[in-house]
Amino acid sequence: MRQTWRWFGPKDRVSIDDMMQAGVEGVVSALHHVPTGAVWTPEEIADRKRVIATRRDGRPSSLTWDVVESLPVSEDIKKQKGDWKTHVANWKTSMQHLSDAGIDVICYNFMPVLDWTRTNLAWERPNGARCMRFDLIDFAAFDIHILERPGAAESFPDAVVAEAAERFARMEDAQKEQLAGNVVFGLPGAAEKFTLDDVKAHLAEYDSISEAQLQSNMIDFLSEVAPMAQDLGMRLCCHPDDPPFPLLGLPRIMSTEAHYRKILDAVDLPSNGVTLCTGSLGARPDNNPVEIFKALADRVHFLHLRNVSIEGTEVMNSLYEDEHLSGHTDMVAMVAAVVAEERRRKAAGRADWSIPFRPDHGQDILDDIGREAQPGYPAIGRLKGLAELRGLYRAFQHPMVAGA
């Protein structure tokens, strides 16, 4: 397991020096300032590699740019509208430029409109730590009463609709504004920032796009880019929906093992793979991330190891970002399964036997609080998670454990 760390670029509150002190081996980054659909130029890629390789005082760091997260797939590609063919061509050009720079793992997603959805970006836990939360009642209040999406109430159980109405009635204007801002926050560091009008416009364009149609559009996209990735020796890995159930009336196509299997079988190339995110997949009670990993292990190219606690037994539920060793996913079993897969790959002679992972998200603790880092990406909270995951990994490498 190669230890990596997500870094949003020079504006990130976590520095290259901080990452070195955390003991990471590689960096996960992206050119967030480049507009979605545009080409990532060799010059921009080289500049990001240079910055990652340089410490604050100008000395070389030991870090390299190992994984791209994300090379965005435009809404035009997802909908097959507008400039989608040009955007696919530009995506392929960017892929070539990344390959030329020696970067061969690209994480992306195919979520419509928003890359992830939370209702609270700094929910306080009993011990004073802060974390991100998706509250179903708050989200229903947003969808029905703030966004005023037609037919929104039909997306929720009657009890949720009633409670959302009561909660919305008690909200001050500032609370409504904060809730709306949290929901449309999207991907931290991205070039685009959506307004409510933007969201409404995007939703309107998805009115005629079913789950089957979105799957078909994704297969068309992968049929274009995956063969090229295969020729270049690159690995593409799709991140699951976050959270993994339908929101805003939009289709979800990467929420379960069955969803992944459909896409992997449709474009059956080793280059077409999976970003196995235990937090996203673990956000619904009928998903077992460990078993999903085992089923798809041969095509898992990248790991996001985080945990969520879910509140309820329905597919759609409230949840919050828990500590890495707590929550729905049995992280001990998860790391054991990854170690077993790496041994299998190494015995088979696979060059990609060591699977890159990063401690995804983290609770704000200690000096994280008030530091104003990207939501979900604190320095100390992620360091705590990395230390716990590193300890598990090393334990499974110990002769007494490995031989058990």
Which residues are part of the catalytic machinery?
239, 277, 304, 360-361, 377
Q: Cβ-count burial of 229 within 10 angstroms (0-12 exposed, 13-18 middle, 19+ buried)?
A: buried
| β-bridge pairing 300-305 and 105-109 | unpaired
CA gap 250, 236 in Å, rounded = 24
The DSSP bridge partners found for residue 276 are 303
Q: Are 29 and 53 in contact (CB under 8 A)?
A: no
| CA angle (345, 289, 183) in 5-degree steps | 125
Q: Are 153 and 142 in contact (CB under 8 A)?
A: no
In this structure, what DSSP letter does residue 40 have?
A: -
| β-bridge pairing 307-311 and 318-322 | antiparallel
Q: Cβ-count burial of 30 within 10 angstroms (0-12 exposed, 13-18 middle, 19+ buried)?
A: buried
Q: What is the DSSP string of 70-103?
A: --PPPHHHHHT-TTHHHHHHHHHHHHHHHHHTT-
Q: Which helix (H) or strand (E) holds 348?
A: none
Determine how many CB atoms are found less than 10 A away from the CB of residue 45.
20
Q: Cβ-count burial of 193 within 10 angstroms (0-12 exposed, 13-18 middle, 19+ buried)?
A: exposed
- Whole-Å CA distances, 292 to 16, 287, 309: 34, 8, 18
Cβ neighbors of 57 (< 8 A, separation 6 or more) are none
CA gap 149, 143 in Å, rounded = 6
Q: Are 227 and 101 in contact (CB under 8 A)?
A: no
Token match 């929101």: residue? 247
What ranges make up the beta strands (E) of 295-347? 300-305, 307-311, 318-322
